[in-house]
Each structure stands twice: as C-alpha cells, then as structure tokens.
Amino acid sequence: MALKKYKPVTAGTRWRIGNAYAEITTDRPEKSLLEPIRKTGGRNAQGRRSMRYIGGGHKKMYRLIDFKRDKKNIPATVKSVEYDPNRTAFIALLSYADGEKRYILAPQGIQVGMTVLSGEGIAPELGNCLPLKNMPLGTIIHNIELHPGQGGVMARSAGSSAQLNAKEEKYAVLKMPSGELRKVLITCWATVGSVSNSDHALETMGKAGRNRWKGIKPRNRGVAMNPVDHPMGGGEGRSSGGHPRSRTGKYAKGEKTRKKKGSDKLIIVRSNGKKLKNK
C-alpha cells in the first residue's frame, strides 16, 4: 500500500500522514451484505454510562464478513477491494460460481479478477483457505481458527500474519504476530497470506477531530484531576501522581492482566520470550 503526506494547507493537515487507498477499487459497498450499527455512547442496558470517552462519531454500516470460509470447493472471483470503517484491514468482495456474494478479509497483494478457493485438497496459494494439516511448513497465514469450525479469530488486523512453524501429531505450532509460539489443533482452518493495509500503523491523525469522527472523545489524565475525582489527582504544581492506577485504584503496571485459561497449556513461548512450564 502507499501512504500520502499532506501539504500543510491547514493546521490539521500539517502533520497528517494518511492512506492513499491505492488498493481500493470502489467506494460503493454491496448492499445485501450491510447491517445497521446502533451506537451505545458508552451506555449499558440500563442507560448508565459504563465506559467513558465514547460518543458521537460518523454514521456507518456493518459489513458482514465471512470468517468461516465454509463454501468448500466452489471457485470465487474477486470483484472489488473495499474500505471497511469497522476494521483496520481492507475487505474483498467475492462472487462465487453459484451466484452468492461474500466479503472476506483482503490478503496483501490480492487483485480484482483473481480466483480463490476454500477446501481441503486445494493449493496453499494467496487467499485460499484450507486446514493447517494441508499447508507446508513456513506458510504465512491469517484469519486462523482457535477451535475447528469456529471461524477465524486470530491474526485479523491490518498487516498481521502468523507462520506455520511445525506439525506435531494433532497440533500445529504457530508463531503469532506478538511473537508467541502456541499450539493449535491441526484440523483448524486458516487463510494463506498476510492481511492487507500493512502500513496502517504508520498513519498519523493530524488533528484530534479525526478521533471524534470515530466516536472517541478526549481522554483527560488522572494526574490533571482533583483528589476527589482520581487517586492520582491533586498535589502542588505538576506532581507525578504516584504509582499509575485506574480511577477505582487498580494498579495499571506490574500486575498480571491475563486470567488462567484452558488454552494456556498450548502456549510454548509467551510474547515476552518466557517459556511456560506445561503440566
């Protein structure tokens, strides 16, 4: 992809580095694959605010994405590559041979007119979806299932991908985008290639108003509040506020944030490089 650096015509464009959207082929989504989104404004079912700094934003529609790729052995032609306001990656519109249309996460390098497939006996080529057991070692993949038939849940954001490192009996060893090495059942499915829009992390907003368009309100720091409003507030002048903590007093650094899960035994090396002792 290509980035676009704006001329400093206004204060908002002086530091802005945006996306040139060179891969996008149309700005009109497929109407049959759209669903409305209702904004919450950070409110829960009782109408009380449960999350701060959420509100406003541009109206948008949700694009129905096929994460399962469960139309097996039916060739599909890429009709367009489109922008999706709900995710960092681009999406591709597929038109299957039987007439059905579906959106998928667009892999990096996919072109309009290409044919993609999903099935067990197909070649591990760009955009094809197949089980991990049928992929050669070293394959770059995304949209990976954690449980067979669940649909892809891992490596779905812009530019992310995992690598198939090894196969051990009923498990495949994957190197995740975080650097974590973990086992996944070899019967799980994944899509070949890395996710599109790899330069997304290099974009610069340029002005606070662009976050308001996304529904993100300004976040005020705890150290700038009064002691009655935040544990880190108060003090004479610009004081540090003490140990970083949340509004309710929960420490923000030093505590473990991951709960024990059943899948912990499948992690070989954590993203911080520590090996886990599997019992």
- The per-residue pLDDT for 241 is 85
- The per-residue pLDDT for 190 is 98
CATH of the domain at 153: 2.40.50.140
What is the residue range of 85's domain? 3-200+258-269
The contacts of residue 17 (CB under 8 Å, 6+ apart) are 3, 4, 5, 6, 202, 203, 204, 206
- Residues of the chain short of pLDDT 70, as ranges, are 1, 277-279
| 188 found inside a domain | yes
DSSP line for 205-249: --STHHHHHTTB-----GGGS-TTT-TT---SSS---SS-B-TTS
- The per-residue pLDDT for 277 is 65
CB 101 within 8 A of CB 94: yes
Question: Considering its fold, how many domains does the chain have in total?
Answer: 1
Write out pLDDT tens, residues 23-39. 999 999 999 999 999 99
| 252 found inside a domain | no
| 206 found inside a domain | no
| 229 found inside a domain | no
The contacts of residue 99 (CB under 8 Å, 6+ apart) are none
CB 174 within 8 A of CB 128: no
| 245 found inside a domain | no
| 9 found inside a domain | yes
Pair of tokens at residue 10: 């206004």
| 63 found inside a domain | yes
Instruction: Output the CA–CA distances (angstroms, integers) from residue 109 to 92, 105, 127, in the order listed.
Output: 11, 12, 9
| 276 found inside a domain | no
